[in-house]
A and B are shown apart, each in its own frame.
Chain A
């Protein structure tokens, strides 16, 4: 019951109880004491009065007859307001009278203070005893008045004490409420607050304890926050995507790299990994990893997934042992697309380079052997054989030359000095070099570059080489009587130069690969003579060294066949155009 009362009410009622006890006990005791004192004082008074009356009787000779005595005694009884009786020694009642306030003692036992005294009067009256009776009724009138006053005092004190109690208890409770609300604020996370205003010295220990607790919580929270931030920084700094699963296999959290790899993960927190990464094998592996926690199987599960074409991830799933954290497993996505790509490029390169070199070599070897066997035969035939050998040797030499060229470009050994120059002039120069090939296939050039020149920042010789390789390529794959169209677009500070042909086009799968060394779209197709298979790789390297890029659209926008090769170069600034004389 007491617990349900508020602190304030408890203080109030306690105060009140103490006050009541403190008032009632003394009041009761003083009432008792006063009564006794009053009757004692009345008895002493009565005795005095009797002694006085008796003295008067014994001294005064005038009171010798019965009549005078009666008059005198009745006067005395009336003025003293008592009951007086005088009885002679022989037992004769000579006088008996009560004052107006005093009850007659004639009937029943005397009720009050009774005092008697033996008297020998001075006159003729017989000796006897004088009895004075003071009734309690008169006495109690006095004491009632007195007790009434005391009770009134008690009541007044009580009435005064109640509001005081109320105010005091309220003040105490208010100071405690302040403390409580501060402790609550600390509990709710406002760890910076401290308890300073105290309702009393007794609370110093409590306040100290609360303050220490707040400090330690603050310190711990700061440590935890710092650790969490560190961990997040580490996780976000990672290149690998990290996914944390809880023990039911739902996504608990993820890092920034994960969000970049799979943007859907943000909406999939609290759901299964399958919602973020559409790959059934990953979900199965996660389920297996979580199941292995119970069975105590392998801690690490690894698999490779390819959520999109060309993006391959090595996924490691580490199941976590049962703890309080409720974490189930950590899934790490390691991007190995580039690695896989390089692996394939290297494999292709080795296969391709041996194939490219073996074909002319087989030819050379065959013709040389034939020549040796038929030594001294028909010189015209022999000459034909030697020409074939020479042609193939030239082809090999071109391949080796291109390879060296490429490796120099890659190693940065070949000096490229970009300067403002006219791309149209470079195109004309390149086309002149390809003219024999173009005429043989009846392919013309449709030059749509501006007649006043297109000024870009590039190395002249290298740009000619880029155009030459692209034109050669276009001629090789174009049908006859179809012009190679060269045009440009300006995008910001870049010029995009495009070469369209009417060839068969390039399948989407191959569009990246054709810029790799020795890659051919259709391997079974007979090679055009003089092709080293390195032309586009060289183009790519040169353009990239100029800060541009090269790509192919097949078919180009708005067309249904053919391919358009684009490369971008930085545009030369206007004032440079004015001062520089176009080269080539």
Chain B
């Protein structure tokens, strides 16, 4: 028979998963909107962000209530603290998706820029990092969480490569400066999604192992 606290923690976990599902979907939609110049999809992302925000408020309230009423200890306490952090990060992922969607709206009005494989790879990497972080949380898999931290280096490299690519491009084609700047911002948004995913994964490790690896990103 599960206790009241366990039930509440389960409920909390489910809310986080719901947030994660929404955030993942938002990122996916925003990127699809950006790559296929789909204005409608971009607007869907911008409108859908409030759901993630509402869920974050609900999670925060629930966490506070649990902390105050049940005075959990050890793993339960870490889980609740971790959940508030993860909810915050997921909410920010949602915001990044909105940023990307807004850029996609802007870019859809302008002529199309040449296809850039780095941007695609970065998008894939960021999506994969987020997905892995969420999967690690679902399965409480610290090994998977660790691998998210390791993927972050690739995202950073790609971000730099994209920056360099568009700086070179701007030198050649001054007409494309505005679009290139937007694309650089998009790349940074993606890189930020990678960072946020890393935070989520680190929090999962904190929940399961009680170890803080934020500064090192090294095996505990």
B35/A524 in contact, CB under 8 A: no
Contacts of A554 in B (CB 8 A): 117
Q: Write the nearest CB–CB distance from A281 to chain B, whole angstroms.
A: 8
List the B side residues contacting A524 at CB < 8 Å.
Answer: 111-112
Q: B179 to nearest A CB, angstroms?
A: 14
Is there an interface contact between A508 and B17, defined as CB atoms closer than 8 Å?
no
Nearest CB in chain A: distance from B176 CB, A: 15
Contact, CB under 8 Å: B117 / A278: no
C-alpha gap A507/B115 in the complex (Å): 6
Among B17, B18, B36, B115, which residue has its beta carbon within 8 angstroms of that of A506?
A: B115
The listed residue (A267, A272, A280, A309) touching B32 by CB distance below 8 A is A309
Does B138 count as interface, using CB distance less than 8 angstroms? yes
0 or 1 for each of B136-175: is its CB under 8 Å from A? (1 = yes): 0011000000000000000000000000000000000000
Provide the bound-state CA to CA distance between A479 and B55, in Å: 51
B120 CB-CB contact with A under 8 Å: yes
Known: A283-B18, A309-B28. A275 touches B138 (CB 8 A): yes
Closest B residue to A275 using CB positions: B138
Cβ of A325 to closest chain B Cβ, rounded Å: 21
Residues of chain A within 8 A (CB-CB) of B120 are 507-508
What residues of chain B lie closer than 8 Å to A508, measured between beta carbons? 35, 120, 124
Name the residue of chain B whose CB is nearest to the CB of A525: B112
Question: Once bound together, how far apart are the Cα atoms of A521 and B112, in whole Å?
Answer: 11
Residues of chain B lying within 8 A (CB to CB) of residue A522: 112
Question: Is the Cβ of A278 less than 8 Å from the Cβ of B134?
Answer: yes
Categorize the interface residue count of chain A: 20 to 34
- Chain B residues with CB below 8 A from A561, complex form: 117
Chain A residues near B62 (CB, 8 Å)? none
Q: Interface code A545-584, partner B: CB below 8 Å = 1, 0 otherwise? A: 0000000001100001100000000000000000000000
Interface of A, secondary structure class, is loop
- What's the nearest-Cβ distance from chain A to residue B123, in Å? 9
Most buried by B among A264, A507, A521, A554: A507
| In the complex with contacts A524-B112, A560-B117, A561-B117, A279-B21 CB distance below 8 A | yes
Q: Does B211 contact A (CB under 8 A)?
A: no
- Judged by a CB distance under 8 angstroms, whether B50 is at the interface is no
* Chain B residue, CB-CB nearest to A560: B117
**Chain B residues, Cβ within 8 Å of A279:** 21, 25
Q: Which of B18, B20, B124, B139 meets A267, CB within 8 Å? A: B139
Residue B60 at the chain A interface, CB threshold 8 Å: no
**Binary interface profile of B, 13-49, with partner A (CB < 8 Å = 1, else 0)?**
0100110111011001000100110000000000000
Q: How far is the CA of A555 from the CA of B115 in the complex (A)?
A: 11
Q: Is B114 an interface residue (CB 8 A)?
A: yes
B34 CB to nearest A CB, Å: 10
Q: CA of A158 to CA of B122 in the docked complex: distance in angstroms?
A: 100
Q: Provide the main secondary structure of the chain B interface.
A: helix
Interface 1/0 per residue, A508-525 and B, CB below 8 Å = 110000000000011010
Q: Considering the chains assembled together, what is the distance between the CA atoms of A280 and B35 in angstroms?
A: 24
Instruction: Report B-chain residues with C-beta under 8 Å of the C-beta of A555.
Output: 117
Q: Which residues of chain A are near B36, meaning CB under 8 Å?
A: 509
Least CB distance from A106 to B in Å reads 98
Q: Is the CB of A274 within 8 A of B117?
A: no
The reply to whether the CB of A505 lies closer than 8 angstroms to some CB of chain B is yes
Q: Which residue of B lies closest to A272 (CB)?
A: B14
Q: How far is the CA of A509 from the CA of B120 in the complex (A)?
A: 9
CB proximity to B under 8 Å, residues A266-291: 267, 272, 274-275, 278-280, 283
Q: Which of these, B14, B51, B117, contacts A505 with CB under 8 Å? A: B117
Q: Does A189 contact B (CB under 8 A)?
A: no
Shortest CB-to-CB span from A140 to chain B, Å, is 80
Given the complex of chains A and B, what is the CA–CA distance between A323 and B96 in angstroms? 47
Tell me, yes or no, whether A187 is within 8 Å of chain B by CB: no
Q: How far is the CA of A507 from the CA of B121 in the complex (A)?
A: 10
| Complex CA–CA separation, A554 to B138 (angstroms) | 34
Evaluate whether A274 and B114 lie within 8 angstroms (CB atoms) in the complex, with A267-B139, A279-B21, A279-B25 already known: no
- Interface membership of A504, Cβ < 8 A: yes
Instruction: Tell which of B14, B25, B28, B124 touches A274, judged by Cβ atoms closer than 8 Å.
Output: B14
Q: Inside 8 A of B117's CB, which chain A residues have their CB? A: 505, 554-555, 560-561
Are A280 and B22 in touch, CB under 8 angstroms?
A: yes
The closest CB in chain B to the CB of A561 belongs to B117
Q: Are A278 and B28 in contact (CB under 8 A)?
A: no
* Chain A positions within 8 Å of B18 at CB level: 274, 280, 283
Chain B nearest CB, measured from A459 CB (Å): 34
Enumerate B102-141 residues with CB–CB distance to A below 8 Å.
111-112, 114-115, 117, 120, 124, 134, 138-139
* Alpha-carbon distance between A506 and B36 when the two chains are bound, in angstroms: 13
Q: Could you say which residues of chain B place their CB within 8 Å of the CB of A507?
A: 35, 115, 120
Distance from A390 Cβ to chain B, minimum over Cβ atoms (Å): 33
Nearest A residue to B14 by beta-carbon distance?
A272
A492 to B51, CA, bound (A): 52
Question: Which residues of A341-394 have CB atoms within 8 Å of chain B's CB atoms?
Answer: none
Q: A274 near B17 (CB under 8 angstroms)?
A: yes
- The interface residues of chain B lying within 8 Å CB-to-CB of A264 are 138
- Chain B neighbourhood of A274, CB < 8 A: 14, 17-18, 21
Nearest CB in chain A: distance from B26 CB, A: 10
Q: Are A280 and B21 in contact (CB under 8 A)?
A: yes
A522-B112, A555-B117 in contact; A509/B22 too (CB < 8 A)? no
**Contact indicator A278/B24 (Cβ below 8 Å):** yes
Taking A280-B22, A509-B32 as given, write out 15 further A-B residue pairs in contact, using a Cβ cutoff of 8 Å, ordered by the A residue number.
A272-B14, A274-B17, A274-B18, A275-B17, A278-B20, A280-B18, A280-B25, A280-B51, A309-B28, A504-B114, A504-B115, A505-B117, A507-B35, A507-B120, A509-B35
Provide 25 A-B residue pairs closer than 8 Å at the C-beta atoms, listed in order of the A residue: A264-B138, A267-B139, A274-B21, A275-B17, A275-B138, A278-B17, A278-B20, A278-B21, A278-B138, A279-B21, A279-B25, A280-B21, A280-B22, A283-B18, A283-B21, A309-B32, A504-B115, A505-B117, A506-B115, A507-B35, A508-B35, A508-B120, A508-B124, A524-B112, A555-B117
